Structure 1
């Protein structure tokens, strides 16, 4: 029994095949011959190493066509329950196809090969068209020199000296008619081939019989359509684009003269003139850009410079009193107003970027020295005469409204400078300025720049504001200047500010009214600061370059001078 069990276990030796008598007991296993030569051929077909001829090996039915490769397949199916019958192989092993044999798929055609095939087809089509046209023209040329077959037949049979019989004439007639048919068939065949060949691109066959005209100079675009891809056929245009009448032809020069400006002339009209070099074209472009920008500044000085149009004569006064051309003054003022990059200014004014940088750094101090004269402290009588009505009842003695403004700068690399410029209020590195204006909105004082860490009272004390303040006058300020009263008392001046607010005790009714009244009057200095903020270099978060910090004092002086040249802040 043990021997029977040992022999009953079979497995398939084909690679990648896992069939056994235990896993698949219903499958049939064919025994491989023990002949060494046959086994070597089996291993070659199965693509595996040679096996010993002494071992008993099997191959399952999945790798055979059992019905065709066995002799007693029907008998085996009838007697399968008894297990006595055995299937006998009919064909040799060479006919067997193993399922486990994996074959690599055929490689796909490369795109380059496909393109070459397409080009070959197109070239063959074009060459066949030329050959067809030549073959059609040859029979027509030969027909002029050859004699027609019917005429030859009549002349031969009707000759008086003809001794041939009727049969001979008939034979000759048949022979000539046959040659005539052959020639006719040959000509018809050539004509038949002249049918439109199957081109891959139908656009090649399009021959539009129109009057030739230079398309590049035509002001009208041609109506075109791809015949090969469009499902809709082109309809014949009813209107003729090009008429034969010379009076109706369109003149290119008249077209350009009607559509373009008078200052511009097309380049094709001056073909004989000298062609401008690249350097000359660049010079012409820079000149045109500069002239356009100067014209725009003349028309909109308030938008581009921050200077009202009625005060534009200030540019000429500056150029007369400063050794600077007016162009340099405009470049400097435009940089302060719009804070454009030097590369943009170089493009607008037709200069290089380095030239613009030198112009700005050299001009700003000279312009600031002249415009500083516009920041004046008027006499007390002049301030009182121009005092707004809202100040006259209770605050007629006010000559100055003060506040501080801050401008963000780049973070300095030095740790000490970082600490000095850090603003706890703005949460960034800033420059801080003290500004003062009269009740009617005229800027009468601007301090130098301080680090954002400096307090308001410290800037008032360190700057020359107290020296410019006349005695026995009143100063209006915000709550942040609460410690300023002791400094003003030394000048016999009074400080007008909203009452302090405490978290522990609520404000009384009179304190709230006083705060509201002072805030309504102190708002004028905020409006002046908003006018300064219109200059983009003085925006709260302008983030001024660290290299430009030394000239920010001059920038704010120029801005204050231009603000004083604008319309009055409070209209009476």
Structure 2
């Protein structure tokens, strides 16, 4: 047996009509003709925009038609429906929906003209003063009432109105002659009040006046209110994948006297309004400290001392520095003209990425002072920690080569990869485009990192916009100049276009085989991919150590004001990672 087709869902296309095949299954739905002109006429009648297709199936319910008159076979439909059979109703030719009770079609009436309204008002007033024709029986009542009013001494205007009343009939005198004078006089004197009639007339009396236009200058008190603060000068900072070449300057961790002099001169230029106290008592002279009360000074000293005690107990958690490496703080303070507390503030900001307000509360300084300390101290500390990022000789790399590399990849001298850090969206559209990362779906800075097979960071590039490709960064950052000849570099599949650049340096690229849907991988290629992925995980572990510094998390969203010093933060973090425990044990 053939399967029964599911009934097509019908609904009435008239706006504001709620009828459909589910809510009103007993109603008849007429199909709308598919002729575009007829459909347009139907839409105009039912107040619907003509945005329907000529091939779509549309219906209109029976509520908008007179079924008895608008259909051809209504009688047949009625008889067959009583017998339980289905018959389709057909509309007469040219019939369109004409009943729209579901819509409010109250057209606004025409406004009444001022002349017409005034004329109606005057006619009502005249009608109220006028009286209908009186018969002979009511003449006496009218005349006696008028006579009483005239005798009572009314105003002249009213007497004239009584004499010249247009409503008085001419036969009233003849009728009065029939009645005796004495009788009429008695009736007038005794029953005057009984013949009076009251009429209510509503009149809108308006005093006569003349309109004159007068120009007046109204003065009000005005005060100047500042609605927005004074705008501070700001600068949009963006990164570009193309950077000018800079001369590499090697700095020693323990500088000579000439190095110390140059660094001190830089420090004096950067912080001309900021003079630190002696580093022995770990105190800092702030410009606004003189305005603090004794209670505030005591509170700041307590907070600073408690934070320094916490750092002494947990340097790894608060600074990212192990206890066995804590002597590095003393070495840095001796070789850099910075107080120890400035170095601690910089490392704590790098490790926990706390706001300057929280750091100001912990160390007892103002927020602006903490910001100046961080921006001044970070480049100085990074210039010293950069010497911990060294490129060992091939002999040293081979001595520390892990066992997993010695069988097949003993000539690998470097493992490279790229990582990204999210930044705030720049306001400049060009910088937005340069920093947009299609992989992270946000604005990022991109860095190339290289490590030896045992996990020592031997190269870190400057920051590039997230739009830059991996091969472009390798070609521009100076990494190829550090490679010795006849060595191998291990990388991911994303560096497949790096082979010709390494071939020009007499080096080879070790990466997993390419994968495509048309050509499935062989068993050997799958094994090779797993083998290389297991060895390339070393650089991923190094990147994870860098991510322990919360300022370098993937979605840290670095403030655009800190973008100029983010390269120094990366350098400082790489130096701290290199003095940690061994990443890969033999």
When normalised by structure 2's length, the TM-score is: 0.50
- Determine the structure 2 residue equivalent to 1:335: 349
Distance (whole Å) between structure 2 residues aligned to residue 278 and residue 413 of structure 1: 38
- Determine the structure 2 residue equivalent to 1:475: 489
* Residues 436-475 of structure 1: CA deviation (Å, up to 9, x unaligned): 0000000000000000000000000001101111111110
SS across alignment from 2:489: strand
- Determine the structure 1 residue equivalent to 2:313: 299
Q: How many residues were matched structurally?
A: 296
Distance (whole Å) between structure 1 residues aligned to residue 425 and residue 345 of structure 2: 27
- Determine the structure 2 residue equivalent to 1:344: 358
Distance (whole Å) between structure 1 residues aligned to residue 292 and residue 338 of structure 2: 31
SS across alignment from 1:488: helix
- Determine the structure 2 residue equivalent to 1:401: 415
- Determine the structure 2 residue equivalent to 1:508: 522
* Residues 49-78 of structure 1: CA deviation (Å, up to 9, x unaligned): xxxxxxxxxxxxxxxxxxxxxxxxxxxxxx
- Determine the structure 2 residue equivalent to 1:313: 327
- The Cα shift of 1:372 comes to 0.2
SS across alignment from 1:430: strand
Specify which of 440, 456, 463 is matched with residue 477 of structure 2: 463
1:564 aligns to 2:578 (yes or no): yes
1:523 aligns to 2:543 (yes or no): no
SS across alignment from 1:454: coil
- Determine the structure 2 residue equivalent to 1:422: 436
Distance (whole Å) between structure 1 residues aligned to residue 398 and residue 486 of structure 2: 14
SS across alignment from 1:434: strand
- The Cα shift of 1:278 comes to 7.7
CA RMSD for the aligned pairs? 1.0
* Residues 359-382 of structure 1: CA deviation (Å, up to 9, x unaligned): 000000000000000000011111
Change (3 A) 1:278 1:505: closer
1:322 aligns to 2:336 (yes or no): yes
Change (3 A) 1:521 1:282: same
1:410 aligns to 2:424 (yes or no): yes
Change (3 A) 1:278 1:475: closer
Runs of 4+ in 1 over 4 A off after TM superposition: none
SS across alignment from 2:513: coil
Change (3 A) 1:326 1:483: same
- The Cα shift of 1:285 comes to 1.1
Which blocks of at least 5 consecutive residues in structure 2 are unaligned? 1-290
Which blocks of at least 5 consecutive residues in structure 1 are unaligned? 1-276
Distance (whole Å) between structure 2 residues aligned to residue 571 and residue 307 of structure 1: 20
Distance (whole Å) between structure 2 residues aligned to residue 357 and residue 561 of structure 1: 23
* Residues 77-122 of structure 1: CA deviation (Å, up to 9, x unaligned): xxxxxxxxxxxxxxxxxxxxxxxxxxxxxxxxxxxxxxxxxxxxxx
Distance (whole Å) between structure 2 residues aligned to residue 321 and residue 351 of structure 1: 24
SS across alignment from 1:528: helix
- The Cα shift of 1:505 comes to 1.1
Pairwise mapping of residues 74-473 of structure 1 onto structure 2 (< 5 A)? 279-473=293-487
Higher helix share: 1
Compare CA radii of gyration and give the structure with the larger one. 1
1:497 aligns to 2:511 (yes or no): yes
- The Cα shift of 1:288 comes to 1.1
SS across alignment from 1:401: strand
When normalised by structure 1's length, the TM-score is: 0.51
